Homo-oligomer: A and B are copies of this chain.
Amino acid sequence: MASPSKAGAPHRVRLNRERVLATAIALADAGGIESLTMRRLGEELGVEAMSLYNHIANKEDLLTGMIDAVFAEIELPSHSDNWKAALRKRSVSFRDALSRHPWATALKDSGTNPGPATLRHHDRVIGTLRNGGFSIALAAHAFSAVDSYIYGFAMQEKSLPFTTDEEAATMAHLMLAQLPANEYPYLAELTAEYVLRPGYNYGNEFPFGLDLILDALERARDAQPAG
């Protein structure tokens, strides 16, 4: 009544790039990246698919924008923390973001240019290392090592055929039953005695590798010739 729009008429909020990106991300989160089509995205926004092209150049532009929006969610390394604590916090935040948006892991494809949030993120990570006493070369090595680990972990986590603990147990039981134990003895052992333990969750493996790498980087940093 207070609204100037006619009663019963669909309250159509003006379309813009941000709303298109946010809705696309929500669709990909809910149904996987393969469920994100221009027609479905239009429908979700109460508009024909063709209207989307007034706000994005094409589907690749849409995907690039979605990736940059995910990077914008990552907590930047704090200047007040020391490099290791700062990098650890942002790494956990990075992995959380990839966990919320699993499709982002595989989408970093060739030719997709980094957006502003991505560039800011990279700049801050490198800055954290440089200010923490890393040489340029060692900072480049460290950046590559940590981010490779995070991306790869997120990808492996995504490729697991289960998410909850109960599903994992069911799945592992099933796999174990199918695995010829004499053909894959070590896999069978690991599944039976590790994966099938109550409370197992692959996600819990993340901190081990992260701290392994951060501790090793600290040693490499300390071993640098004094500059």
A residues with a Cβ closer than 8 A to B are: 32, 102, 105-113, 119-120, 122-124, 126-127, 130, 136-137, 139-141, 144-145, 147-153, 155-156, 158-161, 179, 183-187, 189-190, 193-195, 202, 205, 208-209, 212-213, 215-217, 220
Contact = CB atoms under 8 A, between A and B. Distances in A.
A147, A148, A189, A220: which has the most chain B beta carbons within 10 Å?
A: A148
B155 A155 contact: yes
Given A190-B126, A193-B136, A144 B208 contact: yes
A144 B109 contact: no
B144 A209 contact: yes
A108 B209 contact: no
A157 B110 CA distance: 9
B187 A126 contact: yes
7 contacts: A126-B187, A127-B185, A140-B194, A140-B205, A141-B205, A145-B208, A151-B151
A145 B184 contact: no
A144 B205 contact: yes
Contacts of A119: 179, 184, 187
Given A137-B194, A139-B190, A151-B151, 8 more contacts: A106-B155, A108-B159, A109-B158, A109-B159, A120-B183, A144-B209, A148-B152, A148-B209
Nearest to A33: B109
Given A139-B190, A205-B141, A160 B217 contact: no
Contacts of A111: 161
B156 A149 contact: no
B208 A120 contact: no
Nearest to A207: B141
A187 B123 contact: yes
Contacts of A122: 184, 187
A212 B216 contact: yes
A148 B144 contact: no
A152 B126 CA distance: 18
